[in-house]
Amino acid sequence: MQRRVRTRAIAVVSALGLTGVLGGCGGDGSSDVTLRLVAADYGNSAATSSKKYWADLVERYEADHPGVKIDVRVHSWTDVDRKVREMVDAGDPPDLAQIGAYADYAADDMLYKADDLLSIPVQADFLTQLATAGQVNGIQYGMPFASSTRVLFYNKKLFAEADLTPPTTWDELAANAEVLDAEGVKYPYALPLGKEEAQAETMQWLLSGEGGYTDMMGTYALDSAENVETFNWLKNELVGKGLTGPVAPGKLDRADAFAAFAAGDVGMLNGHPTLMEMAEKKGVDFGMVPTPTADGDSRPTLGVADWMMAFKENGHRDEIGDFLDFVYSEKNVLDFSREYDLLPVTNSASRTMSGSARDKHLKPFLDQLPTSEHYPVGTTSWAAVSAEIKRQIGKAVAPGGSPAGVLGGLQATAVRAESAE
């Protein structure tokens, strides 16, 4: 199919927020097209809300492109996917959605292909592994918007007091946890397998044990020998020895684990860039190293991306594409990444960030990005599988739990979900 040809000048006026229109961004009714964008909020307060990012971006776009109004609605992560689903179910999808998953909408033939929207240089600038993760059957529908990786955080003060060095292997991690436990540390290693984000902690551990959610062919392999061995080790060497703290892993959510680290109560845990700011605000001196692996050899880390997608229902392909080309300019990608301590999704912004002194705190995460592995988000079965992992995986390490049994049950769920596609 031919790439789209620019045929009109386009401008943007923004209406951000859940209920009101931002001052100075109203339209006069003369716009040719109104595009609606539903976006997730990456801030944790009114002062840090993503509304400000979008307001600045569309104001700059408006100055040079008369012709289109863009109505941006920003919702919290607890609401945004549901809001978009409600709009779709009502037969009134937005033109653009920046949310957590795209595969269901792509499978229902509701989305534009990325190469029908973006100019060739913009699409080619996406990091390869993120562009690939945005594909369904080899066609890209999901455009990565933000990304992050995971590293092991450790409390430098607690490590110094116990005369410990950061671990590189599972055995070293367990040995450090035993020492921290003897020193009275509340959570020697925090293992959040609660319903909030158990799928992330699980995949990080599976990768470090040479496993993962899928095999080399992309087929679910949750109950592989490597995965069972990983969870047997967690159950026997960490959880069973009381080294994961007073809250059962299946009841511990990521947010609570992060808060405990920021309070100085955690010796080690896997974390993403958001944890840096939380810990710094509480005065916790921390270090970061690659997640330890079973044998100390380098392994891929977990990479997570959020997605931009464009619905076909209302047309406006050229206007959507022109705006997205602006959204994915190096400046705008860098501005967003720096504002929220996230990793850029483009090669150009990644190169700039890697060489910038102001971004050196993100270097441990950037270093992990090129080899990171992502959830199987390109399959519609992933939503059901992820939900079941959140519900069940904590049982694998509970007293009397069976890693092989739980992982086998999850594999059965995955097979059923795949067959229903």
- Best CA proximity match to 394, nearest among 383, 410, 382, 378: 410
Look up tokens 């990608």; give the residue: 333
| Residue pLDDT, tens place only, 16-59 | 333 333 333 333 344 588 899 999 999 878 888 999 999 999 99
| Residue pLDDT, tens place only, 350-375 | 999 999 999 999 999 999 988 899 99
Q: How confident is the model at residue 68 (pLDDT cuts 50, 70, 90)?
A: confident
pLDDT for position 77? 86
- The residue type found at 214 is T
| Count of other CB atoms within 10 angstroms of residue 54 | 26
Put residue 395 in one of left, alpha, beta given phi > 0 → left and psi -120 to 50 → alpha.
Answer: alpha
Q: How far apart are alpha carbons 22 and 54 in whole angstroms?
A: 11
Encoded tokens for 238: 């960490």
Strand pairing class (302-310; 373-374): parallel
Indicate the SS3 state at residue 35.
strand
pLDDT for position 155? 98
Q: How confident is the model at residue 4 (pLDDT cuts 50, 70, 90)?
A: very low
Note whether 95 and 35 are within 8 A (CB).
yes
Q: How confident is the model at residue 421 (pLDDT cuts 50, 70, 90)?
A: low
Residue 96: beta bridge partners?
37, 310
Strand pairing class (96-99; 135-136): unpaired
| Mean per-residue pLDDT, 109-132 | 96
Q: How confident is the model at residue 229 (pLDDT cuts 50, 70, 90)?
A: very high
Q: Which domains does the chain have, with CATH numbers?
A: 33-147+305-373 (3.40.190.10), 151-300+381-419 (3.40.190.10)
Indicate the SS3 state at residue 155.
strand
Q: How far apart are alpha carbons 410 and 415 in whole angstroms?
A: 9
pLDDT for position 9? 31
Looking at every residue in the chain, the average pLDDT score rounds to 90
Q: Find the helix or strand (DSSP H, E) in which 130 lies.
A: helix 128-133
Look up tokens 């504002």; give the residue: 339
With pLDDT > 90 as the criterion, what percentage of the chain qualifies? Answer: 81
Encoded tokens for 235: 């159950």
| Count of other CB atoms within 10 angstroms of residue 146 | 21
Question: Residue 346: phi, psi to the nearest 5?
Answer: -115, 155
Note whether 289 and 153 are within 8 A (CB).
no
Q: What is the distance in angstroms between the CA of the first residue and the CA of the last residue of the chain?
A: 27
| Mean per-residue pLDDT, 197-210 | 96
Q: DSSP code of 359?
A: G
Encoded tokens for 316: 């406006």
pTM: 0.84
Question: Residue 126: phi, psi to the nearest 5?
Answer: -60, 140
pLDDT for position 418? 85
